[in-house]
Chain A
């Protein structure tokens, strides 16, 4: 009975170890910057005085609005645990530091200031009815993000800038996927974090093993 249980436990531990190894192996695989054949415009309005535009290139036929924002290279803080998709909490230096703060930290009543999401249609900004992770962007489209006062369903729209104005010159083009190397710490950093943890964990478990053995002795 005991041997059977121990065998089961070893089996489970081996499976977990295999799973972790697999995850690590896949996670360690560096991804390469993509060459884009399609382009979409992106307008980010931080305030009335600060508006940035990006021409983002992508190789896929369509990507999500969130992916477009991410590929612009602007630092981004998101809350992926919302029931309706991914919420954008902070773009650049503007917004809320989720999860230390609520994602809509400045929209807890009135006034409500948050990042509103728009699509440029017929030279007019239209407030997005779906989240950025669900809206698909194709070549020639322009997306807008605006930090300002509003309510759910309406916000402060960014200035109207056409696709031709944003992607007119190739020098403005951005569009990159973060390299795998930047995501993983160096071996030295990893060892500095993992070794003390492993040592402590082993010490705690070993103490338990010794105590149980001691108690089982007649």
Chain B
């Protein structure tokens, strides 16, 4: 499948949006990000049919957000803006239902939906083949698993829809919960079959046979090093948590991290990879990269220099209403940058992308 953007530019933009979405809990900023991502979704998924499962996932995410709002409102009875009261004799949910709890639950849900939407938009321009190629060598196996995992959700959804239609054509009616066993069992069998087919295909294509040989001594040394570094990381984290004033924990964390990076680098050099198609860097990739870097700088810069701008917490003693400022709020419209660039690239390039034509060899 042909894509509009260079994978590295696309990754930079995704990192920028993801970082800002994780750093802020302000619902106004999250809403701007969400609006930008929705615009991306509408424009980039135009003319594609395989993204339908992701739109279903988005619907699920919206439901989860609604449940998160209701759950927080019913369980957390803290705040000054009392909307109404439930009898205190009711376990867990009894007590005041506050505006703060509603707003905080909504913000948590919005944050989750924003991240799910970002992931849905990300996969529009990052098919599994590209995803595998950008993953560092030492993570190659993990990358394959991730790619299979990403492809598994829409594939399973499509299979579920096919089985559902087939069962209905045979006269089966889905009325009660246990009627869905007629859907679950074939779906499970289908998933297992697909897994076996995939495993056979990967074996036939020589998956796992592309590693440069290591001597048994090197192999043992690397394995031992990995275990030592991981143990060092765990011990460092423990020491840092229980004796924060002591520098030993921090030092151990740094040393173990450096050791892990070195071992990963060694493992990455062991993997032989062949690439048959070149990726071309175009002006639109530069624009997208700049947008991603701006978002990253905004996110990190604000976090380090003026963290109060990202901060939002509706419970006392902080203000109930979120505050909006042109900076960093104005920068967040860059979340819609891919859609704008795709709009400018019309009609020839985008049409070529959709039909898979016009790509350089």
Using a CB–CB distance below 8 Å, which chain A residues touch chain B?
23, 26-27, 31, 66, 70, 75-78, 80-81, 86, 98-100, 108-110, 133, 178, 180, 183-185, 190, 193-194, 196-197, 200-201, 203-205, 207-208, 210-212, 214-216
Contacts and interface: CB of A to CB of B under 8 A. Distances in A.
Contact of B346 (A66, A185, A203, A215): A215
B315 A109 contact: no
B244 A109 contact: yes
B320 interface: yes
Contact of B320 (A26, A184, A196): A184
Contact of B321 (A70, A77, A190, A204): A190
Given A100-B307, A193-B322, A211-B339, 17 more contacts: A23-B102, A27-B83, A109-B242, A133-B78, A178-B80, A180-B81, A183-B81, A184-B320, A196-B329, A201-B31, A201-B35, A203-B333, A204-B32, A205-B35, A210-B343, A211-B343, A216-B46
Interface string B318-341: 011111111001100101100110
Interface residues of B, number: 52
Nearest to B315: A80
A194 to B, nearest CB: 7
B137 interface: no
A191 B99 CA distance: 20
Interface string B77-89: 1111111100000
A80 B78 contact: yes
Given A100-B307, A183-B80, A208-B38, A197 B319 contact: no
30 contacts: A27-B81, A76-B316, A77-B316, A80-B76, A80-B79, A133-B77, A133-B78, A183-B320, A184-B321, A185-B319, A196-B325, A196-B326, A197-B28, A197-B31, A197-B32, A200-B330, A200-B333, A204-B39, A205-B35, A207-B336, A208-B38, A210-B343, A211-B39, A212-B43, A214-B343, A214-B346, A215-B47, A215-B343, A215-B346, A215-B350
A23 B81 CA distance: 10
B171 interface: no
Nearest to A193: B324
A11 B99 CA distance: 24
A183 B316 CA distance: 10
B329 A200 contact: yes
B324 A194 contact: yes
B42 A81 contact: no
A100 B311 contact: yes
A196 B326 CA distance: 7
Given A23-B99, A212-B43, A212-B46, A109 B241 contact: yes
Contact of B317 (A76, A99, A203): A76
B316 A78 contact: yes
A208 B42 contact: yes
Contacts of B47: 215
Identify which of B39, B311, B317, B342 gathers the most chain A CB atoms within 10 Å of its CB.
Answer: B39
A140 to B, nearest CB: 20
A72 to B, nearest CB: 13
B4 interface: no
A149 to B, nearest CB: 15
Interface in B247-261: none
Contacts of A26: 83-84, 99
Contacts of A183: 80-81, 320
A208 B321 contact: no
B264 interface: no
Nearest to B38: A208
A10 to B, nearest CB: 16
Contacts of B61: none
B291 interface: no
A78 B79 CA distance: 10
Interface in B64-81: 76-81
